[in-house]
A and B are shown apart, each in its own frame.
Chain A
Amino acid sequence: MAMYFQDLLLTLQNHWAKLGCIVTQGYDLEVGAGTMAPATFLRALGPEPWNVAYIQPSRRPADGRFGENPNRLFQHHQFQVILKPAPKNVQELYLDSIKAFGIDPLEHDIRFVEDDWESPTLGASGLGWEVWCDGMEITQFTYFQKCGGYECKPVAAELTYGLERIAMYLQGVDSLYDIEWVKGVKYGEVFHENEVEMSKYALHESDPVQLEMLFKSYETECKRLIDLGLPLPAYDYALKCSHAFNLLDARGAISVTDRAGYIKRVRDNAALCAKGYLKVRQKLDWPLCKTKWTVGEQLPMHEGKPASDAWKTVSFEEKEEKKEAPRG
């Protein structure tokens, strides 16, 4: 039985929904990866449990290839799963998910190969693997260690499935434009023109002067909203900043020397949002902690105390100075 692109999406959604994840929609702003959506970046912070699955359309202006490259896209789709705290059997849960869409580990060589991840624009980093299926990377599997400059306690597991790649594999096609979305309709018929136009815009036609202006005003707006105690809308502007930077970068409008400066500005905003978010959640007394919401197997502590206890004593007011410059 053919596994259409949308069967893959639905299979993954159902798999994680059955295990107790909430299924939400991808974020409605331009992001480069599912990690940047607030449902990952912000929710990975603090002691509260969070188990979510969503499809995130992800824009990478520099990867635009005018619809000509069979393996690269301006916009691709990620299936993003966050499990916090990471369950003890997260690898098994993950393996069940790939079995669900038809990859049997007795028929294919499945391996977990070291791949650490770091996002300088988010002040975030994690350790984990790329999951290989017969030598092809099908998923990024990351244990978050740090986010917005803060240590992640507890640690969230992030699973990012590259949907187009997996679909190409399952359908045995060499170009992602040949993926059958549903019987009779190909990926190319849905998205090819989008790739052509978006690539033209990002690589040739965008207006760097205007983008730079936008970058600055988004940045200012983000800071203004932080000061008003509104970290969630502030984070929207941090994301817009990041996208403006990506567009400038794709256009070749940022010199090597200036690049680090831009990245730092995006990171600083993201860090402010992270702090603002934590402050608000703390004021609300970490509401999700009262839900006992878990997915998969959780084991009792045998030694020491839960890492998430660290948040009980954190005061964001006092640490203002220290946390101003989180490590990236």
Chain B
Amino acid sequence: MNVTLVLFLIVVGITLVITGWAARRTRTTVQFWAAGRSIKGWQNGLAISGDYMSAASFLGIAGLIAFNGYDGFMYSVGWLVAYLTVLFLIAEPMRNTGKYTLADVISYRMSPIPVRSAAAFSTVAVSASYMMAQMIGAGSLIKILIPSLDTALKPWFNWTVLGTKLDPSITLVGVLMMIYVIAGGMVATTWVQIVKAIFLMGGAVLLSFLVMLHFGFNFGSFFDSIAGVKDSKSGLNFTQPGILYAYGKTQVWGVDKALLENVSLGMALILGTAGLPHILMRFFTVPNAKAARQSVAWAMGLIGSFYIMTTFLGFGAATLVGKAKICATVAPKCTPNSNLAAPRLAEYLGNSFFGTGGGEFLLAFIAAVAFATILAVVAGLTLAASGAFSHDFYVNVVRTHILHGQVSDREQVLVARITAALVGLLSIWLAARVGATANVAALVAGVAFVIASAANLPAILFTLFWKRFNTWGAVASLVGGSLVTIWLVAIGPGWTVPVNANPAFPLQNVGIVSIPIGFVLAIVGTYLGELVKADRLAEQKFHEIDVRAQTGLGAEPVADVA
């Protein structure tokens, strides 16, 4: 075992102890799902940041900037501005009308069986695709920490599942994470997210500080150095837009393709957050609408500061390390893996400031922070996916309307665990299919955020603000929006490096097509539902949800914490 690995395991061990401690403090249902609704605004803001800033934000964006310069920074911008959508339209009404999950709000006006089933489907789709990227991030970290693992495991690990060869590192770390999350009672408690958010901010501040120290805290010379990095293909320097998607090269539907990609990406980034089940669940943990908006304010402050720091992480890796050396195993002509930009930057900075041991130490520390980040996000996603399935689908559809009878807590937890395991395995398989060198930020923004904006966002917005919206419309957007997105991504260029050169759908970012389709499906579904007079209750119920969403009348109260 090398020093880096030992240090890594120590830091991860500390995180696990904290998680275990937090798990034991969770007893009742309200405590488990909604933390007793007693979380303060600033605590919830930190927890939202913890849930939100995943491998995509840390490893992914740093890598996109390190490999493509300025264009990667667009992800940081969009992922912060997204919170205005959440703050203005979603956070307070969700708190006022919701209970445990996204489906609680939508099914409030609608027929519970179809809507809960559809919401469970879209929640699992968002969570699995989100988790796929986390698995890639974790797998990449293992590849950098234990370079020989893939080769060592090869004799025992030569499995092809449904045409996809499993990746040993991703599978091993993915299965271990899932076992931990499932056996540990699936804790993604507020405290775990808070601790992790602080770790992550600390890691980012440290790296940014060291990058600036390297440049003598002179922004001018930092940017001079960035402008000195040139993209070989376009000849642009790294401060200039147009490297990730080259402008003016090809046209799609009569419009510049790069422009479409960037606008499409922007749509997914700023609309997707408002449809992420694991983020929306966080608003059910606070006592009232005021605390909900305060938690968004805290989250925006933290997340925004973090994303501004991606300038230092990403450009720092571009200038100090360079794309050619950002690989799992550094060798001449190695395969670059953009997810490893931040760890390689840490190693470089450690070596240059603290000598040889310093590089190993800082690499281990940043890898551990990234791993803790991934583990906490995986726990949050598992909670959202298994919650949607066991609470919304199993308890409220199967056991309430089909197989009558009391559901014991044990039964519900068992269903949740089985769901979690299946979603975990699905995401491991998807991760292997996409490959470990796919950028995790691009992947999350390109799949999970698009499903969230095409399927969940229309359903949520129309439930809250459109009187005529009904069950048919909700099911059409939840299921249709998810399926259209998944289909377009599947036939598009994809994110595997290198991308599919001859795709049936031209764009990597499919949001510009699938998000409008999601909204249109919601509207068409609603009118079809009206034609067959399927659902008259939905309109009656609108008055109630309208008043409750705006005023907080009859909202779920703070639970007695015994």
Chains A and B come from one and the same complex? no
